Amino acid sequence: MPPAEPVAAPADDAELIAAWQGGDERAAAELVRRHARALARFLAGAGAPEADLDDLVQEAFIRAFRAIATFRGQCQFRTWLLTIGGNALKDLGRRLARRHVVPLDEHLASRDGDPHQRAVARETEERLQRGLERLPRMQREVFLLRAQQGLEYVEIAAALDTSPGAARVHYHHAVKRLKEWLT
């Protein structure tokens, strides 16, 4: 199938969602283009193997589009999508009864500096990745939504059905534990 053509005029997510609900497939494709990389980063950060990343991203979008009628704009579409991706990753983990250590993305490490510095940076990132996998799911997702995606606590709380205060507590617990493991 040839790729769907991009929507001509820039539209916000709400307009694209409405267009999709009206049957416009290009709107759905545009939503995928707009949010797929952020979702992939979130999933990879949460421990998704890169080999499964493509399928997981697809699965998250399919679930989101299926459940689009339940999206009431309580948070941004992207934030809602990331939480759906988290659920898809959890289901994958159950299916695979995993979990091995996720091979760390080689591109993560800085290419600047000497080989020793790059090796140190890579090792730190690997430890962070393993630390994230050891965190309770809520702490891991709050940490990633905050630190990786740069979201506010109010937004995170709305997406994860908790309070901003609780989200802040989860974040600080996550940071505390990750710092202990990283040092």
Partner 1 sequence: MTDDRMDDAKLEELARRLGAGAAERLNVERVAGAVVERLRSEPKIERRGPSPWWLQPKWLRAAAIVVLMVGVGIVVRGWLQVGSRHQAHYIAEDLQDLSASQLREVLGTLDETLQAATAPSAEDDLNDLTTEQLQALLRSLEG
Q: Which residues bind partner 1 (CB under 8 A)?
A: 1-4, 18, 20-21, 23, 25, 28-29, 32-33, 36-38, 40-45, 50, 53-54, 57-58, 61-62, 65-66, 68-69, 105-108, 124-125, 128-129, 132, 143-144, 147-148, 150, 175, 178-179, 182-183
* 3-state DSSP assignment of residue 96: helix
Report the nearest approach of partner 1 to the CB of residue 66 (Å).
5
Q: How far is the CB of 16 from partner 1 (least distance, A)?
A: 12
Closest distance of CB 55 from partner 1, Å: 9
Q: Which residues neighbour 154 within 8 Å (Cβ) at sequence distance 6 or greater? A: 164
CB 38 within 8 A of CB 13: no
| 160 SS3 class | helix
- Give the separation between CA 85 and CA 126, rounded to whole angstroms: 22
Closer residue to partner 1, CB minimum distance, 43 or 92: 43
| Sequence-separated (6 or more) residues with CB below 8 Å from residue 27 | 7, 11, 15, 16, 17, 19, 20
Taking the C-alpha atoms of residue 51 and residue 81, their distance in angstroms, rounded to an integer, is: 20
Looking at beta carbons only, is 17 or 159 nearer to partner 1?
Answer: 17
Q: In terms of CB distance, is 157 or 178 closer to partner 1?
A: 178
Q: How far is the CB of 59 from partner 1 (least distance, A)?
A: 9
Nearer Cβ to partner 1 (12/106): 106
